[in-house]
Amino acid sequence: MSTMPLLTGRSKLVSLSCGTENVWGVDNTGIVYLRIGTKAPSPGHLNPAWVPVDGTTHSSGAKFTKVIAGPSDWMVRSTPIVI
């Protein structure tokens, strides 16, 4: 089980990028999130969850600020900034 925080009311997404099947985001603390599905949910269905991606926090103090999804859903680039 991941020990990363979940996207809560205190977190704010500062970067979003849509692939063909997924949405990627970075919050104001530098954590990268993935949401499977790009469409709004149908009535009677649950909203897709924003799942934190393991390995997006680093002991060096690097913090992600931007995420870019490529033409294939497995192609994702994130821009870090060292604090």
Q: What would the two tokens of residue 56 be?
A: 């997006």
Greater confidence (23 vs 58) lies with: 23
User: Backbone phi, then psi, for 56, in 5-degree steps?
Assistant: -95, -5
Q: Give 24-75 pLDDT, tens digit per residue.
A: 999 988 888 998 887 777 788 777 788 888 776 666 777 888 889 887 877 8
What pLDDT, on a 0 to 100 scale, did the predictor assign at position 45?
A: 77
Q: Minimal CA–CA distance to 30: which of 70, 76, 75, 66?
A: 66
Q: How confident is the model at residue 10 (pLDDT cuts 50, 70, 90)?
A: confident
What Rg value do the Cα atoms of the chain yield, rounded? 13
| Intra-chain end-to-end CA distance of the chain, in Å | 28
- What's the pLDDT at 16? 92
User: In sequence order, what are the beta bridge partners of 15?
Assistant: 26
* CA-based max dimension of the chain: 44
The reported pTM is 0.73
**Regarding predicted confidence, which is higher, 81 or 11?**
11
